[in-house]
Structure 1
Amino acid sequence: MRDIVDGLLAWRTAGIPFAVATVVSTWRSAPRQPGAAMAVNAHGEVLGSVSGGCVEGAVYAAATEVIETGKAQKQTYGVSDGDAFEVGLTCGGTIEVMIQPDSALTGLDSVLSALGEGRPVAAVSVPGAQMVVWPERTEGTLGDAELDRSAGQQAAGMLAHGRSGAVTACEREVFVQSWAAPARMIVFGAIDFASAVARIGKFLGYRVTVCDARGVFATPARFPDVDEIVVEWPHRYLEGTEVDERTVLCVLTHDPKFDVPLLEVALHTPARYIGAMGSRRTCEDRLRRLRESGVPEEALSRLRAPIGLDLGARTPEETAVAIAAEIVALSWGGSGAPLTDLTAPIHGS
């Protein structure tokens, strides 16, 4: 729902009733994962998507009915040869969608505010009721104290790990949608390639920081869309900032006086992705310097250098796509191979 926050806030401000449809379960090759959301308002306007187009028409009709009746619904959309181009999913999957009126979404304004500010929050839902779980408190009820306690505990654990999905609490199925704070992308080197990488990082939902020791290059005018600009020696900044298992580090300076001390620090962090730009010769020289400084081979094996997938990229924007593609592939276990050459399910089993 993070991607439709601005639209929902506008509807709330204007007092327009709406319904939110959320994917709560998927089977086989479903195009969107649990948590994907689509909203329909009383004027017929639509935000978001639950299936990439396959069943949006049916969900739209159901959401319109929910707005009119004020009663939540749970719908399942699957596929067979006979209905693939009517309501079902042509990809062969099945999704379960919960559709709720805004009046049933307890704490909606608080949730939307948290999402807009990047603060962690989770929503626990059953048809017609919602409870909001924060790291330090809960708000609302699912209608039963014991159910609230059990579901709230599970939601707190899922929020800590940024996971969403259906769970069983007190022998009832509830849906937990958690929104952890956005993962970080830190781009080192305020060059033209960094501007393109920062833009695509924002597009992917990262909280983006650009760091460079040269203040003349690291300016808001050159990087208007990033969340933070830091003028500091890269390795010093990295030593003092938070890096977790979701963090992405893109080293674009390709200058050994910056790269080597920075990567000595980076390769000992839990960052999910560490990539460094440079020619083959630059990358080989960098590895030699890192080995000489005592970085073990196990740590060096985590380094993606030259950074990005082989897309034949030339421009900064094309290079940013190649880098983003490698980050996505690493995050989800993708091979980076053309889908036309593969036989495995596109969205996993």
Structure 2
Amino acid sequence: MRVWRQLADFVQRHGAAALISVHDVKGSAPREVGARMVVRPDGAFHGTIGGGQLEFRMLDIAREMLDAGRGPARIFDQALGPDLGQCCGGRVKILIETFDARAMEELTPLVAAEAEGRLFELECRMEEGRVKRDFASAVGDDRWTGWRETHGEVRTPVLLFGAGHVGRALVLSLAPLPFAVRWLDDRDDAFPAHLPPNAKAVRMWDPEAEIAEASPQSLILVMTHDHPLDMEITAAALRRDFPYVGLIGSATKRARFEKRFRELGIPEETIRSLVCPIGLPDIEDKDPAIIAASVTAQLLQVREHGGVAQKFSPPAASNDT
């Protein structure tokens, strides 16, 4: 969630909004420091600080603060077990702030920084009861006292070749997640009329050029309507050092493709890195939505553990498609 964009949108549309942030955590807690919620005056919200009684209580307080009008920020210290009856057992500090139209000047540069698609750090301090935020200096200031916050998000790029049933299901599955999907197909009428905000439909003219121009952090998924085209795209992808190259298909399809890859001189270790069949190995259902959910879980594993430092290791078992 882009916190500052959502906050500015609520302020512009509804006149005010509250920001609830996990400020500090000791022990076990539902969410980490930096988890945030943005709340409208009518109680509607985006984001979560973990659900349960902690979230319910903080939402009630945020609405009370909004009803009272713009006021000072408040920090609430909560022991999750004794205070709220939650089993986590830890202790959290929750920061709640309110914003109205007077805050738009301070929100605008934060919205712009968020839109750049990177992480950025803010230096924060209390000033006359409100949180004052400045972009963190690379030099630093020994006189500065306060705390630092990290904002923004980095979306992992995904190149998805093919707009068939599984491709469509996968785009929907990835919609709420931290991925930026470049969705490619060579057919004019392949794409649906409406796409999630994190997906861009592209009429594909030169698949090898798409591979050549892709970021090295990209995750590649190949599931076109044409096996020779799948072969062409996958071979081009394997010649580069992407963290993940996945090809939809059965073990038989993989064996046929491997033979051709060897003829093309692709190293054996690289061929072994190909993920085919795609998805988690213990999920064998071939329904497009289930394949999409399985592949999404696999991509999240790659994002969490594979990063850009190592290739993903394909599963030993298969869920033939």
TM-score, normalization: structure 1? 0.71
Partner of residue 299, structure 1: 270
Partner of residue 285, structure 2: 313
1:249-328 superposed matches below 5 A: 249-253=220-224, 255-269=226-240, 271-309=242-280, 310-328=282-300
Partner of residue 343, structure 1: none
1:248 aligned onto 2:250: no
Q: Percent identity?
A: 24
Aligned residues: 295
What amino acid sits opposite 2:15 in the alignment? I
What amino acid sits opposite 2:2 in the alignment? R
Shift of 1:262: 2.2
Q: Over residues 123-143 of structure 1, what are the superposed CA-to-partner deviations in whole Å (9 max), with x where a residue is unaligned?
A: 51334334354xxxxxxxxxx
Partner of residue 137, structure 2: 152
- CA distance in structure 2 between the partners assigned to 1:192 and 1:329 by the alignment: 23
What amino acid sits opposite 1:293 in the alignment? L
Give the conservation status (yes or no) of the 8 Å contact 1:185–1:248. Answer: yes
Partner of residue 100, structure 1: 97
Relative to structure 1, the CA distance from residue 74 to residue 88 in structure 2 (aligned partners, 3 Å threshold; closer, same or farther) is farther
Partner of residue 131, structure 2: 129
Shift of 1:276: 1.3
Partner of residue 71, structure 1: 72
Shift of 1:171: 6.8
What amino acid sits opposite 1:75 in the alignment? F
What amino acid sits opposite 1:51 in the alignment? G
Shift of 1:185: 1.8
Relative to structure 1, the CA distance from residue 119 to residue 332 in structure 2 (aligned partners, 3 Å threshold; closer, same or farther) is closer
Q: Over residues 181-227 of structure 1, what are the superposed CA-to-partner deviations in whole Å (9 max), with x where a residue is unaligned?
A: 53322111221111111111222142221112x32354454x64432
Shift of 1:9: 4.1
Give the conservation status (yes or no) of the 8 Å contact 1:272–1:331. Answer: no
Shift of 1:91: 3.0
What amino acid sits opposite 2:285 in the alignment? A
Give the conservation status (yes or no) of the 8 Å contact 1:19–1:99. Answer: yes
Give the conservation status (yes or no) of the 8 Å contact 1:182–1:207. Answer: yes
Relative to structure 1, the CA distance from residue 274 to residue 28 in structure 2 (aligned partners, 3 Å threshold; closer, same or farther) is farther
Residue 111 of structure 1 aligns to a residue whose secondary structure is: helix
Relative to structure 1, the CA distance from residue 100 to residue 259 in structure 2 (aligned partners, 3 Å threshold; closer, same or farther) is same
Once structures 1 and 2 are overlaid, which stretch shifts more, 41-50 or 312-321? 41-50
Give the conservation status (yes or no) of the 8 Å contact 1:123–1:177. Answer: yes
Shift of 1:279: 0.5
- CA distance in structure 1 between the partners assigned to 2:240 and 2:88 by the alignment: 39
- CA distance in structure 2 between the partners assigned to 1:292 and 1:26 by the alignment: 56
